[in-house]
Homo-oligomer: A and B are copies of this chain.
Amino acid sequence: MTPREKAPTSRRERPAKPALSREGIVATAVAVMRAEGLEKVTMRRLAQELDTGPASLYVYVANTAELHAAVLDELLGEVDLDAASDDDWRDRLVEVLTSYTEVLFAHPALARMALSVRPHGEHYLRLVERLLALLADGGVPPERAGWGVDVLLLVATANAAEHGTREQTGDPQAEWDALVHAVQEAPAATYPYVHALAASLQGGTPRERLAWCFHVVISGITHTPIPGTDS
């Protein structure tokens, strides 16, 4: 919370170098990510930003992965947990999940990371708590809700990783075109279903597909008992 707190300087010099701290490092990391993407959030770059050498950061941060995880939890603070509609619990669930996805959408690299490094920060816990509450509202048995939250967050995170709009590895349009091309060129003899589907491949907006995806999982959760355990 004190990213650039000025040390009390007696002599008039250039803005005194603020003392290093975990908070300061994470805050700088978030700033760099917002400005230039997660790819630029490197130990060396951050050290440069904080006017020190990369080795100094290792006093406060174990490694790059841990730093990125801290950045992720910071970002999760932006997820809107208060669904506006007081309609069906399903719709409220979709609202919260959509907010989560949108937050990650701007940083697909972060979403990809969230799939390897299990988040466990404060903001993440808050989100899980909210999702569990909504599933409980819907009468989903507790253990099934636990597994269900896992699947819902997995789907949301993967969607963000896949369709996110920033920091693309290559040209996303070109890649999509390549897929469409591959599908359209698929010989009807070998790939009858793929061939037949070519036309409807681009059907629906990304937003429609995302909402459908969430409804599929929610519906599935209500219909699929955990084997042996719950009713």
Tell me the A residues contacting B by CB distance below 8 Å: 63, 65-66, 108, 112, 115-121, 125-126, 128-129, 132-133, 136, 142-143, 145-148, 150-151, 154-155, 157-159, 161-162, 168-170, 175-176, 178-179, 181-183, 186, 190-194, 196-197, 200-201, 203-204, 208-209, 212-213, 215-221, 223-224, 226-227, 229
Given A125-B191, A155-B151, verify A115-B112 contact (CB < 8 Å). yes
* Cβ–Cβ < 8 Å partners of A147 in chain B: 203-204, 209, 212-213
In order of increasing CB-CB distance, the 9 nearest A-B pairs are A220-B220, A216-B220, A132-B193, A158-B158, A120-B182, A120-B179, A115-B161, A219-B220, A219-B223
Nearest-Cβ distance from residue A160 to partner chain B, whole angstroms: 9
Given A115-B158, A147-B209, verify A125-B227 contact (CB < 8 Å). no
Nearest-Cβ distance from residue A142 to partner chain B, whole angstroms: 7
Give the contacting residue for A118; candidates B118, B145, B175; CB below 8 A.
Answer: B175
- Structural contact, B158 and A154, CB atoms closer than 8 A: yes
- Structural contact, A193 and B133, CB atoms closer than 8 A: yes
Most B Cβ at <10 Å: residue of A170, A212, A226:
A212
Nearest-Cβ distance from residue A157 to partner chain B, whole angstroms: 7
Q: Which residue of B lies closest to A114 (CB)?
A: B162
- Structural contact, B162 and A203, CB atoms closer than 8 A: no
* Cβ–Cβ < 8 Å partners of A226 in chain B: 203-204, 208, 212
Q: Which residue of B lies closest to A197 (CB)?
A: B146
* Cβ–Cβ < 8 Å partners of A209 in chain B: 147, 150
21 contacts between A and B (CB under 8 A): A112-B112, A112-B116, A115-B158, A115-B161, A116-B161, A116-B169, A118-B175, A118-B179, A128-B194, A129-B186, A129-B193, A143-B203, A145-B193, A145-B197, A154-B155, A154-B162, A212-B224, A212-B226, A216-B217, A216-B221, A220-B221
* Cβ–Cβ < 8 Å partners of A218 in chain B: 220
Besides the known contacts A118-B179, A158-B161, 5 further A-B residue pairs in the complex with CB atoms under 8 A apart:
A112-B116, A146-B200, A216-B221, A216-B223, A223-B223
